[in-house]
């Protein structure tokens, strides 16, 4: 009987001991970016609900101890990446538990971001871009830990592609913003891009979208409105068997008469067995080129049977040689390559 009582006492004591034992905690923390390098770090609520006498708190930034409290404020003085470590010593298990997260601090940020939580890292937005002539920009996304993206190009246009291409219609300075998101929140990077006015306009070629008759020869001539007419583009005869049909110059024609000319005339000629002559004309104002900077202009000639599309290019430096062209786009040579990471 005594043995049974002793066994029951032992089991009861063991039950009480096990029942009162605290579960091993999981270490985690959050942080808030207030802007300009000023952050607040928070111990995860699971640990904050712990008995205040049950653990000790140790915060480290890049290996240096900075605080003993569940939450604390910290002012960074240099932009860059930092390893933030939360170390907890549990009195009950007599063990240390740690959590380390790497964050990017930008002293130019305006704040507003909150990060931390589970093992998913807070996203970091970053991008570079190549600025080409013809107002064209290729964007390269270097963001970290993001699952979705949104771009604002500063001209009222936007994109949700990871790495979009964008063409501006006018010179000017534009603020481009990339927002990177994941389940933790969002992060922004911005850059100011200055699009300069091109000094050179080139006539690249034409696309015949509709012609009066197939299986005939066609050519076009582009002239200005001067008293002494200047021919800016004169194509070869080409047989058109089907439309659309493109004729692109190997060497683009420089239109250096834009300041003096008000318009250009595009004349289309057709060669038949019985005759060869002009079948239609189309007037293009220089305003369409110097104000709208259109790279493609559609139009119907006055014969009502011919429809064409004309291609133009706008350059800050003169083209040299005979640049190879693929689908009317010149071989790209990046002018500017820039990176900006600005947290918001």
Share of the chain above pLDDT 90, in %: 15
**118 — pLDDT class (breaks 50, 70, 90):** very low
Q: Is the dihedral of CA 120, 126, 129, 135 positive or negative?
A: positive
* Greatest mean pLDDT among 78-82, 90-94, 321-325: 78-82
Compute the average pLDDT of residues 271-280. 75
CB environment 34-70: b (16+ within 10 A), e (fewer): bbebbbebbbbeebeebeeeebebebbbeeeeebeeb
Domains delineated in the chain:
26-116 (2.60.40.10), 127-197+335-340 (2.60.40.10), 200-315 (2.60.40.150)
Does pLDDT of 234 surpass 70?
A: yes
Q: Cα separations (Å) of 168 from 139, 194, 233, 249, 292?
A: 13, 10, 27, 25, 10
Of residues 258 and 210, the one with the higher pLDDT is 210
Does pLDDT of 283 surpass 80?
A: yes
Compute the average pLDDT of residues 54-69. 90
Question: Which residues make beta-bridge pairs with 135?
Answer: none
Q: Cα separations (Å) of 182 from 19, 84, 186, 282, 336?
A: 39, 20, 7, 53, 30
Per-residue pLDDT tens digits for 13-32:
444 444 444 455 678 888 88
Question: Is the bond preceding 86 in cis, omega lying within 30 degrees of 0?
Answer: no
The whole-number pLDDT of residue 89 equals 86
Does pLDDT of 114 surpass 60?
A: no
First to last CA, the chain: 74
The whole-number pLDDT of residue 332 equals 38
**74 — pLDDT class (breaks 50, 70, 90):** very high
The whole-number pLDDT of residue 66 equals 92
The whole-number pLDDT of residue 155 equals 92
The whole-number pLDDT of residue 113 equals 54
The whole-number pLDDT of residue 25 equals 62
Compute the average pLDDT of residues 116-126. 68
Per-residue pLDDT tens digits for 292-305:
777 888 777 767 78
Compute the average pLDDT of residues 304-333. 62
Per-residue pLDDT tens digits for 151-173:
999 999 999 999 998 988 888 89
Question: Which residues make beta-bridge pairs with 325?
Answer: 330
SS3 readout for the chain: CHHHHHHHHHHHHHHHHHHHCCCCCCCCEEEEEEECCEEEEEECHHHHCCCCCCEEEEEEECCEEEECCCEEEEECCCCEEEEEEEEEEECCCCEEEEEEEEEEECCCCCCCEEEECCCCCCCECCEEEEECCCCEEEEEECCECCCEEEEECCCCCEECCCCCEEECCCCEEEEEEEEEEECCEEEEEEEEEEECCCCEEEEEEEEEEECCCCCEEEEEEEEECCCCCCEEEECCCEEECCCCEEEEEEEEEECCCCCCCCEEEEEEEEECCCCEEEEEEEEEECHHHHCCCCCEEEEECCCCCCEEEEEEEEECCCCCCCCCEECCEECCCCCEEEEECCCC
What does the mean pLDDT of the chain come to?
Answer: 76
Residues 230, 264: Cα–Cα separation, whole Å: 10
Compute the average pLDDT of residues 317-324. 56
The whole-number pLDDT of residue 161 equals 92
């Amino acid at each position: 009987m005594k043995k049974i009582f002793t066994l029951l006492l032992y089991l009861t004591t063991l039950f009480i001991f096990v029942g009162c034992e605290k579960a091993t905690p999981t270490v985690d923390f959050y942080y808030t970016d207030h802007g300009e390098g000023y952050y607040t770090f928070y111990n995860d609520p699971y640990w904050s609900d712990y008995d205040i006498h049950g653990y000790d708190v140790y915060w480290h930034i890049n290996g240096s101890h900075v605080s003993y409290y569940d939450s604390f404020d910290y002012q960074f003085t240099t932009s860059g990446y930092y390893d933030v470590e939360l170390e907890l010593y549990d009195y009950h298990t007599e063990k240390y538990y740690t959590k380390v997260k790497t964050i990017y601090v930008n002293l130019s940020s305006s704040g507003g971001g909150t990060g931390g939580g589970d093992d998913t890292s807070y996203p970091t937005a970053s991008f570079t871009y190549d600025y080409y002539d013809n107002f064209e920009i290729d964007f390269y996304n270097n963001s970290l830990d993001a699952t979705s993206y949104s771009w604002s190009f500063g001209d009222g246009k936007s994109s949700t592609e990871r790495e979009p291409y964008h063409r501006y219609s006018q010179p000017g300075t534009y603020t481009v913003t990339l927002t990177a998101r994941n389940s933790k929140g969002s992060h922004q990077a911005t850059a100011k891009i200055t699009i300069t006015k091109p000094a050179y306009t080139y006539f690249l070629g034409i696309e015949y979208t509709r012609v009066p008759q197939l299986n005939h020869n066609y050519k076009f001539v582009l002239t200005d409105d001067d008293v002494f007419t200047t021919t800016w583009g004169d194509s070869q005869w080409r047989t058109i068997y089907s439309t659309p049909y493109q004729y692109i110059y190997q060497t683009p024609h420089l239109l250096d008469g834009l300041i003096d000319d008000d318009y250009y005339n595009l004349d289309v000629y057709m060669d038949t067995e019985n005759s060869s002559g002009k079948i239609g004309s189309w007037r293009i104002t220089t305003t369409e080129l110097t104000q709208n900077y259109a790279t493609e202009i559609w139009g119907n000639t006055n014969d009502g049977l011919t429809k064409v599309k004309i291609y133009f290019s706008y350059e800050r430096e003169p083209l040299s040689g005979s640049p190879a062209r693929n689908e009317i786009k010149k071989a790209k040579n990046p002018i500017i390559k820039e990176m900006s990471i600005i947290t918001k």
